[in-house]
Every structure is written in structure tokens, then in C-alpha cells.
Chains A and B, each alone.
Chain A
Amino acid sequence: MKKIFLFALCITSLWSCRKDNSGFDGPSIKEMFGPFKMEEDFKASRDSVDFGNGETVLFTARFNKAIAWRITVTGQTSHAKKIITGLSKTIDTPAGIWNGSTTIFPMFRIENCVAVLSLDGVADSFQVATKIKSIKVNTGLVIADFENGFDPAWTKFVQTGADMDFNIKNDGYAPQGVKYLNMAGTVNWDWLIGMIDYPASAYGGGKTLPLPSNPDQVYFNCLIYGVPNTNESLVLFQFKEDEHATGNIDPNTNDEYDLQIHVNWTGWKLISVRYSDLPYLNNGQPAVPKGNNQHNPDKIGKISMLELADPSNGFASCKIDYLIFTSSPLEP
């Protein structure tokens, strides 16, 4: 009996060690499911913002409870939209910071903007105005934004099909700047509609692109527009490495990595992919590269961009803009 008593004493003495558990976990239920009250008005930290010089806008607000919120900033001229969402009791840094980036294209321009705060389950919305003095600058190597037309160093090939339109356009569709490349046509004997080669020599005169050597820190980005009610396009990028910097890329002794995009959406979409994630594709299937089998972005000698479509389908069309290498996924 004495032993049992000692056993029980040992356990109960441990029980008394419980730390203080006053307070509770998580947000207050009374607040969460009680009536909503705006405790601090929705504000923007600046009336006007110079994104090009690294300035940002901080949106702030405070509520009496944690609530799902959504800020939609709309460019009054471009109709670009930036959407920021969260679930919290306050909107503050870092969640409330806008650096000039875009969620729904086109990208913002120098223009007036209106930011609207809407809250889950609350009928009222709140708004503030701000003005963009200069747009956000994306750091990276721009391969093509088509603002200055075709670079004479590029090589273009377009099939002689029907309704061919492989031209740079300025018709208000551009997601970045004012121009983009339209790629459309009917080629009923071949998958290829048209292509452009971007040689490394067009970007600083060297035999390879001036990119970092670490493939994990190189991202290729582009904006592609899927045309509604049109046959699916296939955009293929071939990144051809010139491993020995000869200026003459032998496909049998050099690596090639590929990015194949099925344009099966409508509207503009950002494509962003890390160079080290790219496979080599042989007839659309992953295969072993023919060079050193290492991703070497600093050895890319040429990029080929091909617009493809199933020849039995007929007319295919898509638009493309803003081909850029960055060190992290592009935040346009």
C-alpha cells in the first residue's frame, strides 16, 4: 500500500508543475463571430508613388476582429489590377505593401489608381486613391518586349500558310509597354506556324547570354495571351547551349533545354520557370541532353521560339510579350 501511495504521490506532484494556461489559443471567437467594426480607416501611405525608384505604397486598416479582406487596386487608364488578400485583424506591413506589381494584366502605367477594400461578410467597401508617378522596374535580361520592333539580329521564319499574321502589334492588347508579337495563321501541312531565333550576339555581342551560371537562380518568364474560341497553340522555347563558346552550336554535342507551353487558357498569363527545371524534349518527350547534361544558363548561345499547332485543326493564334530572364520568378 505504501508503494502505491508513493507511486500516486509521484504522479500528482508532476501534475502540479503545469504552466500557466491563462489566455486562449487563436483569435477571440466573440470578436470573430460578433458584429464587425472598422477601428481604423482604410488608408494608403502615399498619394503618389514612384515605383521606378523603389517606393512602395502601404495600405493600412484595423478591424475589431480577424476577417478575410481583399484590396483591389485598379489602374484608371490601363484597367490593370493588383489584388492583395489576407485574413487578419489589421492590414499593415508586410501584407499591405504594394510594390507596383500586377495581378491581372496589362501592367500598370503612369496613371491614377483606386484601391478598394472589401471584407468577407461586410456589405460596405472602402476606397482610397493613389497615383503612379513611375512604373515598377523589373531587373533582368530582357530578350524581347517588341517595343522597338524586330531586332535585325533576330531571325524570323514564317510559313506561307493562310491568314498568316506574325507581326508586332500596337492595338491596345499589350500587357507590357504598348507592343506585343501576334502569332497566328493556318498551316495545314505542318505543326510549325512560325519561329524566331534570338541569338546571344543580340545581347551584348558575346557568344553566350550574359546570365549567372547557377541554374537555380535563373528564371525565364514571358507573358502569353490565349485567344478565346481558337484552336490550341503550342509555344515551344528551345534554349540551345553553346558549351564551348564556338559561336556555332552543334546540336549533337551541346545541351538543349526546352519549355513547351500548351496555350489552353483565355487572356494574358505569366509563365515563369526556373532554368534548372527545364527538361530536354525530343519530339515532346523528356530525353537525355546531348552535351554535358548540366544546365548552364551562362552558356545559352541561342533561344528559338516556335509557334506550333495541330495542322488538322486549322487556324491557331496566340500573342506573346515580355520575354525576360530574372533571378527569381517575375513579379510583373
Chain B
Amino acid sequence: MDKLKLPVLLLFLTLQVNALHAQQRHTIEIVGGARSIISNNNIKVRDSVPDTTTIKRNTGGYALIDLGVDVRPNKYVEILGMFRIRNDYGGFWGSGVSFDVRQLWLKGIIGNVVRYQVGDLNLKQTPFTLYNHHADRIDSLPAIFNLQNEIISYEKFYMDNTWRQQGVNVDFGLNFSKILKEIDFTGYMTRLNGTNFVTIPDRLMSGASVNIIQSRHVNFGYNGFWVFDVKGTVPDSSLYNNSVNTINLGYVTDFRNNMRLDCKAEFGWSKSVWSKDVDASQLKDYFIHAYATLNLPKQNLDFTLGYLNVGPDFRSIGAQSKDINYAAAPNYYNYYTNKQIARPLSVFDVVRNENIYNTSVSSNLMPSNPVYNNVLPYGLATFNIQGGYAKINYTYPEGIAVNFEEYVLSEIRGQGTNSLKLFTQSKLLAQFEINKLAHFSKRLKVNLGANYQTTWRSSDAAIEDVALNSLQFHAGIEFEFIKKMDLLLGFVGLFNKGNDFIPVRNSYSKVEYFEKVNYDLSQNYSGAGIRFRFLSDRIYLCALYQFNTYTDKQNTNPSYNLDQFALIFNMTF
């Protein structure tokens, strides 16, 4: 059967190309991408007993092509179907070759009023309803690492903060001449999982937003998000229901010298219910998030002050699903040491391993990992947190962008004690486009960043005390030394030291246990490479070498080094 796929595919392609010639250029387009990665990897285990069991080296890779046909039969309808052929290096005709449908959607407009899309959807609402926060990702990652990070985004359909879903989406807007300026409506319904007819019911996810623009100064709206099991799809089962309702307000006012104050707020409440399940009481809570941004255009500055209060029982699976699944197998040196224990994930995996990333929202609260984020593991939707933050953003038009933010937060309800944890996060990101500043044409970019997080709890009982500090910093250079050819250098460091108690939750997200952890962990991740850009940044060939050290001074897990040489060709069209 597999042997038939390529001839069928070639026939299909031929038909498409003929159709392309036969019709107007704007009615059928071929879109997609192609990629080839080949890599040589090596692990060195720094255990007290030499590791003679783990296979240290592996070489592998793949080539793939995504071919999509974007058809616009008329001005009201657009259809896209995309399939993927992938061949693992070393595979040949049926062995290692896969053929998949990657995207399928249809969109259009009804009566010049209602826009709709069915099939694959990229959905996003607000940070508390449906939103992919990418909470553990390193912002402004050096280009040498970002290449692989962008491949993850492409593979998992991460477009800004969207989640990929399958279903239907409609939206339309109404304009008014008096009192109100505009009302926009959006609604969607998707299927999170199908039933197995025995224990797992059909689970649907839906949402609706109404945004009202009263004037240039005032806007407000309502957002609803619901996940529910469909009754009757399994016999006599407990049905899950998570609903989130929020109101958003916005007020903008201008001052002298073009200064602008932009005030925004969102508040709402959530409810999670498991019907029939006596072990789970329902969870209900609310949140408030408000901030004001003062924009000083003459000084190229923005100042933001914000307040955040998210209740301990606030649950929104659309906003609290993590993109990284720390429980997933990395499928890359899964086990190491002579005892073949599970290898702890490192920055190397977080940056470049697509196997640990999720495509869709998760119905269960996903575990967080304090090594990578101990302050806001679920982004702004992190529950049981209150406090304030401040941000300063400086953007110089000729190539300087500096952003600093400071969060000071605390728990609302204690975890295993009445004493509350206090959190701080200080983050600095800076990007300098030196070629623009020095007025030369070849690209020379430097980016720097640091994120310092603290978690602290002091209690009458010393055993309850918590003190955990994490510092992540990075630096990168992107230098075009020959036209279209860039030298890429980068470094990421991550250091964790201290203790904490990690809650172990049951399937209803209630804390059942605490795992006591002590960290004295340092990770260094460095890389160098040469990239050749073809016609645009979307087509490149890059040879890179990356080196990662994972050092656990507590020896909870043996330390290890990982290094990789990779050759990447990537293009999108």
C-alpha cells in the first residue's frame, strides 16, 4: 500500500500543476515548505561509575516536504489541503517513509457579512480563556538556537499564542453610526477528543467573544470559554465541564506631547465540575488582571504597571495548558547510565526537541517544572498568585530594543502550610542591530537577555522554608560576514539553586502530596554555526555545532554532556 503512495502523489501533483497553468494565477497556489536535517549526536555521562551501557553516538535525520494546494474557486471560498511526505535517512520505500495530511481547512464568507472557517483552526482568545502562553520558552533566543525553536513552532502550528484545533469558527462585525462604533463577534467549536465508546466521552471545546468599541477611547467585551463532555457518548460516565467567563475593559486617553495612557483590564470567573464523581468537588474561583501603559513617543519609552490576582481554584484548561509536556519522553537519549534511568530534560531539549511539545490543549492540569519557570509556570493564567508588575520598554528606531520587567507576587493560599510563598522575577531583554546604528549594510545583531527568579517562604517551622533562585541568561551574535552568509554564535546559561516543595496533584488537580526537591544545577548551552540565506530569510542552509552540559551538584541525577553537529536546510513558500 505504501508503495502506491508515491505514484498517487506524483499523479496528484501533476494534476495540480496542470490546474495551475489552466487557471488564473490567483485561484490556485502551491504553498508549503521543505526541510532536511541531518545530525550527529554524542552523549557523555559523568557518572561515578563509567556508563558502558548507553549507546553514546547516533546519527540520523530526515527530509520532508509539505505541499499544500490553496484553492480559491471564487471570491467567497478558500480551501487549503496540505500533505507531508517524510523520509527518515536510511529509510527507503515504505521503511521510514510516511505520508500524512498536515492541514485541511476551508474558509469563506457568507453574504459579505459572516466569515467562517472549518477544519484546522489556529485559535486564541484572551490570556485567561484560550491562550498558548509559551511560559517556559526563552524569550529573544539567539539565532543559533532559534532556528530549531522556529522549526518546533512550525511543526506544532504555534502562531504567536494560538492553539491548533479542529472544528468550526465564525466571526462577523457590525458598525454603528451613533453611541457605539463597532461590535465584533467571534465563536468557535472544536473537538478536543473523540469517544472510545466505553470510558472516554466525546469532549468539545467552544468559545465566544463579543468586543464592543464604543469610541476611540473606550472598548469593552465579553469572552466565554467552555469545555464539556457530550452526554450519552459513553455509558454512565462522569462528565467534565470547565467554563470561564470574562469581561475585558479598555480605556485610552491622550495627553500633551502625544503621550498616551492605555488602561486595560480583564476579570472573570471559572468553574470546573466532574458530574457524578464523589472524589471531586467542583472548583470555582475568579481572577483580575489590570494594567496601564504610559506611552512616551518622543522618548521612545513605554511604562507599564499591572496588577494580577488569580484565585487558587481558578481553572481554565485553554489558558493553563503548557506547550512543553515534561512527562513526555524526549525520544532522544531517553535513558542513560548503566542503570538506564530516565535522562532529565535539559535546556537542549527545551530549545530543540519537538517531541516534548504539545499540539493541543490538555484536559488535565499539566505538571510544571521549577527548573524552567517557578514563578509563572502557566503564564498570566498561573493560579494562586497575586501581586504587581512593572515593565519598561525602550525602542530606538535605529536598532535598539530594550525591555525590562519586574514581577513581585505571592501565593493567595498556602501549599501544605499557612505560610505563603513570595515570588520575584526580573527579566531584561536587549537587542542591538549594530549595522543600523553604525550605518553599514551587512547584518550585525547582538541580543542579550537575563531572567532571575526567586521563590521564598519563611515559616515558624523551618522544615517548611523555601528558598529557590534561578538565573537564566543568554547572549547571541548574528554577523553577515559575506553577503547572505551569517556567522551565528550563542550561549544560554541556566542555574538553579535551593529547595522547594512540588505539589503532586490528582486528576482533579487537587494536591495530594508534596515532593521535596533540592537543586544545585547548572546548565550551559553554547553553539556556533554558519548560515547561508538564499532569496530570503525563509530559505536557508545552516551548519551548526551545539554543546550542552548538565551538571547536577546534588547528584540527584548524574551529570552529562550532549553535543550535536547538524546540517539544516529549511524553506517555506
A residues apposed to B, CB below 8 Å: 3-4, 7-8, 10-11, 14-15, 17-19, 21-30, 32-34, 66, 87, 216
Contacts and interface: CB of A to CB of B under 8 A. Distances in A.
A3 B463 contact: no
Given A7-B265, A25-B384, 16 more contacts: A3-B253, A7-B251, A10-B265, A14-B267, A18-B412, A19-B285, A19-B311, A23-B413, A24-B413, A25-B415, A25-B511, A29-B416, A32-B514, A34-B461, A34-B463, A87-B512
A28 B416 contact: yes
Interface string B280-309: 000001101010100000000000000101
B interface residue count range (under 10 / 10 to 19 / 20 to 34 / 35 or more): 35 or more
A24 B417 CA distance: 6
B288 A11 contact: yes
A4 B412 contact: no
A28 B251 CA distance: 45
26 contacts: A3-B251, A4-B253, A4-B263, A4-B292, A7-B249, A7-B263, A10-B265, A11-B265, A14-B267, A15-B309, A18-B412, A19-B311, A23-B413, A23-B418, A24-B413, A24-B415, A24-B418, A25-B414, A25-B511, A26-B503, A27-B512, A28-B416, A29-B417, A32-B416, A33-B516, A87-B513
B312 interface: yes
B198 interface: yes
Nearest to A28: B416
A22 B413 CA distance: 7
- Most chain A CB atoms below 10 A, which of B249, B253, B292, B513: B513
Given A4-B253, A21-B312, A33-B516, A28 B263 contact: no
Contacts of A22: 418
Nearest to A3: B251
B102 interface: no
B427 to A, nearest CB: 25
Nearest to B285: A19
Contacts, number: 92
B261 interface: yes
The 3 lowest CB-CB distance pairs between A and B, nearest first, are A26-B511, A29-B416, A24-B414
Interface of B: 198, 249, 251, 253, 261, 263, 265, 267, 285-286, 288, 290, 292, 307, 309, 311-312, 384, 412-418, 461, 463-464, 501, 503, 510-514, 516
A20 B213 CA distance: 36
Given A11-B290, A18-B309, A28 B417 contact: yes
Contacts of A216: 198
Contact of A11 (B198, B253, B267): B267
Nearest to B464: A29
B572 to A, nearest CB: 39
A25 B312 contact: yes
Contacts of A14: 267, 286, 288
